[in-house]
Amino acid sequence: MIEKIVKTGKIMILLMAAGMLCLAGCSGDRQEPEIPDPDTKENVFQGKIIENREDVLLLSGMSETSASLVSLSPKETLVTDQNGKKTEASGLKNGMIIDVIMGEDATIAESYPGQIHGQKEIRIVGQENDITGMYLEAIKEIYQIDPGLNSGVKIMALDLSMSVNMSEAEKSALAYQWDSWLRSQSQDMDVYQKTYDELVEEGMIDGEKLYFPEGMLITIEDKEIKGDSFEFSISKWCSGLGADGLENCKAVFENGIGTYTKGTAWIS
């Protein structure tokens, strides 16, 4: 694993090499976590909470220059609300935007996800919709429809290019979450973010026979969110005669938490 540790305040970079980091489950276009500027008054990493599980936060970077994923433990860290008042870490919810204030000796290990250590404060900035959490449940559902198609699948591709409601960082986070879920189910697959055309160009899909050997492509397409709801479609495809989908599903969010109603189901 190649790991770069960035020490904020007095910048010190240590490179430690012990092999090659290989995470099956995310796009090859990942960007590394953005290194805070040591010349600013405060070193801040702003992120959106993707998961709060087992005392570890998974954040997607909010900066346009960083589509990174970062994890940290909020244990023994001061947490303040939007009014600057102390609050409990248990109140940190998926979809929240937070500022992670780095301590003088804080470090960011640039593994994947990146790991923040030594933060001195977590400030809640606001609440947005947990779109990745809603989509993770939708992917689980489409995957479990017609389970016979899942047999022998060793390659899992996610086409998120037609989703207008997720940032690039959130798309990377969703791929990471899906990979983690598959592994939790003892399903060891290679997970990629790729479109149908990219898979054909790379020889992974036979474009003439319309067949994805040992593979499955899950595609999400949505319409722009209006208020706190939007429509989307989701499908899984293994071949021209092996596909399932749900059209015109409706996602609704309340206090950032999303649910959805299934639309029209189809089978090929």
* Mean pLDDT of the region 64-75: 78
pLDDT higher than 50, residue 18: no
What pLDDT digit, counting tens, does each position of 172-181 carry? 999 999 999 9
Question: At CA 10, angle to CA 9 and CA 13, rounded to 5?
Answer: 110
Residue 36 has pLDDT above 50, yes or no: no
- Give the confidence band of 264 by pLDDT, cuts at 50, 70, 90: very high
Total-model pTM: 0.83
Q: Please report which confidence band the pLDDT of residue 198 belongs to, taking 50, 70 and 90 as the band edges.
A: very high
Give 220-233 pLDDT, tens digit per residue.
Answer: 999 999 999 999 99
- As a whole number of angstroms, the distance between CA 193 and CA 220 comes to 11
Largest interatomic CA distance in the chain = 62
Residues 6 or more apart from 114 whose CB is under 8 A from it?
A: 32, 33, 68, 69, 70, 71, 108
Residue 248 has pLDDT above 60, yes or no: yes
d(CA 255, CA 127): 8
Which residues does residue 244 pair with via DSSP β-bridges, in sequence order? Answer: 236, 267
- Residue 5 in this model has a pLDDT that exceeds 90: no
pLDDT band at residue 64 under the 50/70/90 scheme = low
Residue 9's pLDDT band (boundaries 50, 70, 90)?
very low
Write down the residue that tokens 């022998």 correspond to: 152
Q: What value does the mean pLDDT take over residues 41-53?
A: 89
Neighbours of 146 (CB within 10 A): 15
Q: Indicate if the pLDDT at residue 162 is higher than 50.
A: yes
pLDDT band at 41 (very low <50, low <70, confident <90, very high): low
CA–CA dist 96, 92 (Å, integer): 7
Predicted local confidence at residue 22, as pLDDT? 37
Residues above pLDDT 90, as percent of the chain: 74
pLDDT at 167 over 70: yes
Q: Tell me: the pLDDT tens digits for 205-222?
A: 999 999 999 999 999 999
Confidence of residue 55 (pLDDT cuts 50, 70, 90): confident
Query: Quick count: other Cβ atoms within 10 Å of Cβ 211?
Result: 14
Is the pLDDT at 4 greater than 60? The verdict is no
Q: What letter does residue 223 receive in the DSSP assignment?
A: P
Residue 246 forms beta bridges with which residues?
234, 265
Q: What is the pLDDT, as a whole number, of residue 179?
A: 96
What is the C-alpha to C-alpha distance for residues 65 and 108, in angstroms, rounded to an integer? 17
Classify residue 43 by its DSSP letter: -
Confidence of residue 183 (pLDDT cuts 50, 70, 90): very high
197 pLDDT exceeds 70?
Answer: yes
With beta carbons less than 8 A apart as the criterion, state whether 145 and 216 touch: no
